[in-house]
Amino acid sequence: MRRYRYRCTVCRTTSPVVHQLDDLAAEGAAHRQAIHAGHIPDEETAGQIDRLGRWYATLPPLSALHAHLADALSDLHDPKAMGHYWWATAGAALAIGTAAALCLTLITAAL
Ligand SMILES: [Zn+2]
């Protein structure tokens, strides 16, 4: 399940989590219209977030990969909640470590 948030850096407020892109656009439009008379605040942020509330776009690539995997594993247990389960965090780290070790093994075998 995907999660999105809108943040206005002028008002320093963040919208509640929504699950559809249309709802995210509506959150931003409603805030701009109600608070800023339709003007677009500088540096506003909107996009997909992980279960910890972090924007994927602001995460380094390895952290974003870990967040995607941990989100997917956590969604298997409870798709509507926020936060990662400890076993999902450990499973994501294990999957990334296993993939890295497999790539290293393949490269070593090929040389
Ligand atoms: Zn605002």
Q: Which pLDDT score, from 0 to 100, does residue 62 have?
A: 96
Q: Which residues surround ligand 1, an ion (CB under 5 A)?
A: 8, 10-11, 35, 41
50 CA distance to ligand 1 middle (Å): 23
Q: What is the largest CA-CA distance in the chain?
A: 63
Mean pLDDT score across all residues of the chain: 94
Three-state DSSP at 4 gives: strand
pLDDT higher than 90, residue 59: yes
9 CA distance to ligand 1 middle (Å): 7
Mean pLDDT within 34-62: 94
32 CA distance to ligand 1 middle (Å): 6
The dihedral of CA 58, 5, 23, 89: what is its sign? positive
Mean pLDDT within 82-99: 96
pLDDT band at 86 (very low <50, low <70, confident <90, very high): very high
Helix, strand, coil percent values for the chain (each to nearest 5): 55, 15, 30
